[in-house]
Structure 1
Amino acid sequence: MNSRSMLRAALGALALLPLIGAPLATPALAHHSFSMFDPSKPLKFEATVRNLQWTAPHAILWVDAPQVGSYAPGLWSLELPTSPANLAKMGWSRASVKAGDKVVVEINPIRDGRRSGQFKRGVIVATGQVLSIGAIPGAQPPK
């Protein structure tokens, strides 16, 4: 069997997969929902950066925070609402924040009560620099 025949056979087999119930791998056309986050209960608090996880599809900022409302002190996982490529266009980089930096964050908490959330507007670092994903009116740097 020559390479052209092998290619035809492979394409024919792929064409039959949907008919026998085998799914084809296709790229996702829609983005996942952010409905797990509660925009009606925004939180704003000071924290200390543990790590910025600069990965697709969304970067994650890990921060240690004291008691925040009814949440016990501890590690928070904060999802940025866009890709690292888009964040870079907004002025972010892997080095925008580093372990030990004091920050103020404003988030929409996750609905299930874990110490997790999605950024509502951005991060304010101790220098006063605002790393924004939107406007932060009256932004004040952490103490």
Structure 2
Amino acid sequence: MPFQSRRIARYLGLEGPAAAAAPGLFNSLYQLFLDNDCTLVEVNPLIVTGDGRLVALDAKINLDDDAMFRRPSLRELRDRAQEDELEAQAAELDIAYVNLDGDVGCLVNGAGLAMATSDVDWVSAAGARPCKLLD
């Protein structure tokens, strides 16, 4: 199915100049995602100004670590100030680590198991929440 940027604009209820600009913005974001091996392209917030223009006030992208050899110029743009210090240290050691606000650490084999563990009712039934996930 082709990318449906006009349909997304209609779904969001955009009108006038914002509706006209939305497909170009959405297509550009989609192309950015494809061309740069992204795992995430996020615009938040995306606003409609008083005069109807569509403006992205902030954005971030995450790149696939396994594809960085194809994107050496993008590696230089990494902003460590935006990263959790422990997560960044773990990434340097090729360890998948997520720092969460909780009180139970989870050492797992695979991201799927980590997500299932954090969603399990017994964790919350015991009055606990995951605080660190280490894969």
Identify the TM-score tier after normalising by the shorter chain: under 0.3
CA radius of gyration, larger in:
1
Task: Tell which has more relative contact order, 1 or 2 (C-alpha 8 A, sep 6+).
Answer: 1
> Which structure has the highest helix share of the two?
2
